Amino acid sequence: MATDAKTYLDDPQSLVALVEAMPPPERAEYKSYGALTLESAFPGRKMVVYTCSEKGPLDIEVISFGDFRVDWETGPSFEIFTALGTTQMLAVPKRLRPRDVFFQVPQTFTLKYKGRQQPKHAVDFVSAYAVLVKTRSKEIHQVPGHTYAVTLNNFRERHPDLKLRY
Residue 12 falls inside a structural domain: no
Task: Give the span between the Cα atoms of 139 and 150, in whole angstroms.
Answer: 8
Percent of the chain with pLDDT over 90: 71
Residue 65 falls inside a structural domain: yes
Residue 13 falls inside a structural domain: no
Residue 26 falls inside a structural domain: no
Average pLDDT over residues 11-30: 94
Residue 17 falls inside a structural domain: no
Q: Is the pLDDT of residue 3 over 60?
A: no
Q: Is the pLDDT of residue 2 over 60?
A: no
Average pLDDT over residues 92-106: 95
Domain that holds residue 152: 34-158
Q: Per the structure, how many domains does the chain have? A: 1
State how far the alpha carbon of 130 is from the alpha carbons of 65, 74, 114, in Å: 11, 17, 13
Residue 27 falls inside a structural domain: no
Which band of pLDDT confidence, cut at 50, 70 and 90, is reported for residue 142? very high
Q: Is the pLDDT of residue 46 over 90?
A: yes
